[in-house]
Amino acid sequence: MNTNYFIKKDYLDFKKIEFKATLLLKKDEHPIKGNKIYLKNGPELIVHRDLFDKLKKGDSIIKKVNSDSIFFHTTSGIIIDDYNEFKRNKYLKSLK
């Protein structure tokens, strides 16, 4: 098995996902690390603390196919998060 294959697959699998969902539940477990959010009709996500604190139950969360970013529609405006940045960078490094 090729490790680079799995790095690429992990990155591209997320890019293929598309969802339009609402925030159902926030699980506040870590004061500094990322925390889980649960979506109605969408995947479970782990978001960084700064974003986690800005989100509220009922916020609309959208990810389009072939995008690394997730759009969080909050009461204070739209927040765009490059959610797939870590996997993308890992994939690009594997190409070298």
- Strands in the chain per DSSP E: 19-27, 35-40, 45-47, 60-63, 70-74, 77-81
Angle at 45 between CA 40 and CA 49, to 5 degrees: 120
In angstroms, rounded to a whole number, what is the distance separating the alpha carbons of residues 34 and 18? 22
Q: What is the average pLDDT score of the chain?
A: 93
In angstroms, rounded to a whole number, what is the distance separating the alpha carbons of residues 12 and 14? 5
pLDDT digits (tens, 9 = 90+) for 34-81: 999 999 988 999 999 999 999 999 999 999 999 999 999 999 999 999
Overall pTM > 0.85: yes
